[in-house]
Amino acid sequence: MAEDYVIRVLGSPLDVDAAAWDALLQTQPNPSPFMRHAYLAALHASGSAAPATGWTPHFITLCIGDELVAACALYEKIHSYGEYVFDWAWANAYAQHGLPYYPKAVAAVPFTPVPGARLMARDAAARVALVKAMVQWCDQSGMSSLHLLFANEEDAAACTQAGLMLRHTVQFHWTNIEQGYPHFDAFLASLSQEKRKKIRQERRKVAEAGVSFRWSLGQDISPSDWDFFYRCYERTYLEHGNAPYLSRDFFHRMASTMAEHWLLFIAERGGKAIASSLIALDAYTTGAVSQNTSGEWAAMRSAQVKEEPAKRAGDTEQSALPPSLRSEMKRVAYGRYWGALERVDCLHFEACYYQPLQWCIEHGYHRFEGGAQGEHKMARALLPVKTTSAHWLAHPAFADAVARFLEREDQGISNYLDDLRQRSPFKPVD
């Protein structure tokens, strides 16, 4: 480890300098809003991701003098819930051999399977130094293993250099065309006849059931709408026999500290709200956009929101993003949470895919990420994307066994991707 680095292990995200953390995040290639200090702090302070729920924070920072040059959100785990890269079989194998798999260490955003920067660093050397510091801490603390989830390419390269093993899974993302679809029907026209017909049939069923949608953005999401969303979210978890991961207090904190990152759709029938879906937004940019350009867009959007507090989803408005900015900004939306109080055929598809996709098209968004797993998403034009995690196991024999397993699994993932790509929902390109 380079002697210039001062390594600290902090027991709470609240112990981290928020301004320094966020400044370092914004220099990363994939600075998703889920790695913002306010997001991680809200998870902790609300009790959603805290020691009581099996997420004990050990945030690791590397400094040179007073400058933060690398940092990572690291959690000690006593279970494998809320991760979305599944290692239950590894835990069972440990148990069968009389060895403890827990506690383990996870470098991730709790409950958030969104690829992006996990190892925030000033440069490649600091990133590798951070990985080595994490492994050293895990070894000294008696962790069975270290798992870095949904990493970007830079993280994967640093982990490989530090000797970690890579693992791949598949997600499904929608990507706008370079010039942007002018409207939802233009997007549908790019699909095969079968998929286009299916989507129109599903949307028609919802409309004929008397369901309409409205959306609200940022500060215009009212407290009562947040409350209604949480009723839907909580009910969906309870119907599946589980308590929700996130508390109402967490979403209260999001409304207070990160409102600009949230878009809420509410389904109504007969004047009564019956379902909702919550979408996260990258309110800034994942591309190389100047601060002035980003500021120009933020000011323009703020003014627009004040004029239009809530719009009916499905309006055939022009894109809110002017072409001059649209070509420069690679803005991303993330499908996150949904729930319903009444059952309507195809309502889930409308609330979680078609309404958000239509909104993304109308507002110049580059990508919509549909979350973990879900091959059915391909019928909605979300295409397969390989995601990466990195793993270190302290036990040499188990590390060897996992390495062999990952080699076989990776070949299976490659074959699976090849098969999926042959089933594209889009019309063949001449």
Residue 3 has pLDDT above 70, yes or no: no
Band of residue 39 on the pLDDT scale cut at 50, 70, 90: very high
Distance in angstroms (rounded) separating the CA atoms of residues 198 and 213 = 20
Task: State mean pLDDT over 321-343.
Answer: 75
- Tell me: cis bond preceding 425? Omega within 30 of 0 counts: no
115 CB neighbour count, 10 Å cutoff:
21
C-alpha distances out from residue 47 to 51, 196, 250, 253, 266, Å: 8, 44, 8, 12, 27
> What is the model's pLDDT at position 216?
97
Band of residue 397 on the pLDDT scale cut at 50, 70, 90: very high
290 CB neighbour count, 10 Å cutoff:
10
Task: State mean pLDDT over 197-218.
Answer: 98
Residue 369 near residue 335, CB atoms below 8 Å: yes
For residue 173, what are the β-bridge partners?
Answer: 369, 383
Task: State mean pLDDT over 126-144.
Answer: 98
Mean pLDDT (the chain) is: 90
Band of residue 430 on the pLDDT scale cut at 50, 70, 90: low
188 CB neighbour count, 10 Å cutoff:
17
**Which one, of 367, 304, 360, 349, lies nearest residue 182 by Cα?**
360
Tokens, residue 168? 């791949």
Distance in angstroms (rounded) separating the CA atoms of residues 157 and 14 = 29
Band of residue 322 on the pLDDT scale cut at 50, 70, 90: very low
Higher-confidence position of 289 and 167: 167
> What is the model's pLDDT at position 307?
38
Chain segment 349-364, per-residue pLDDT in tens: 999 999 999 999 999 9
Buried b (16+ CB within 10 A) or exposed e, 298-308: eeebeeebeee
Chain segment 75-131, per-residue pLDDT in tens: 999 999 999 999 999 999 999 999 999 999 999 999 999 999 999 999 999 999 999
Chain segment 167-203, per-residue pLDDT in tens: 999 999 999 999 999 999 999 999 999 999 999 999 9
> What is the model's pLDDT at position 312?
52
Tokens, residue 39? 């997001």
Distance in angstroms (rounded) separating the CA atoms of residues 243 and 350 = 25
Percent of all residues in the chain with a pLDDT value above 90, rounded to a whole number: 85
Residue 116 near residue 35, CB atoms below 8 Å: yes
Residue 127 near residue 94, CB atoms below 8 Å: no
Band of residue 285 on the pLDDT scale cut at 50, 70, 90: very low
3-state secondary structure labels for all residues of the chain: CCCCCEEEEECCHHHCCHHHHHHHHCCCCCCCHHHCHHHHHHHHHCCCCCHHHCEEECEEEEEECCEEEEEECEEEECCCCCCCCCCHHHHHHHHHCCCCCCCEEEECCCCCCCCCCCCEECCHHHHHHHHHHHHHHHHHHCCCEEEEEEECHHHHHHHHHCCCEEEEEEEEEEECCCCCCCCHHHHHHCECHHHHHHHHHHHHHHHHCCEEEEEEEHHHCCHHHHHHHHHHHHHHHHHCCCCCCCCHHHHHHHHHHCHHHEEEEEEEECCEEEEEEEEEECCCCCCCCCHHHHHHHHHHHHHHHHHCCCEECCCCCCCCCCHHHHCCCCCEEEEEEEEECCCCCCHHHHHHHHHHHHHHHHCCCCEEEEEECCHHHHHHCCEEEEEEEEEEECCHHHHHHHHHHHHHHHHHHHHHHHHHHCCCCECCCC
Residue 60 near residue 137, CB atoms below 8 Å: yes
Band of residue 246 on the pLDDT scale cut at 50, 70, 90: very high
Band of residue 373 on the pLDDT scale cut at 50, 70, 90: confident
Task: State mean pLDDT over 153-161.
Answer: 98
Distance in angstroms (rounded) separating the CA atoms of residues 202 and 308 = 29
> What is the model's pLDDT at position 417?
95
Tokens, residue 421? 């790509």
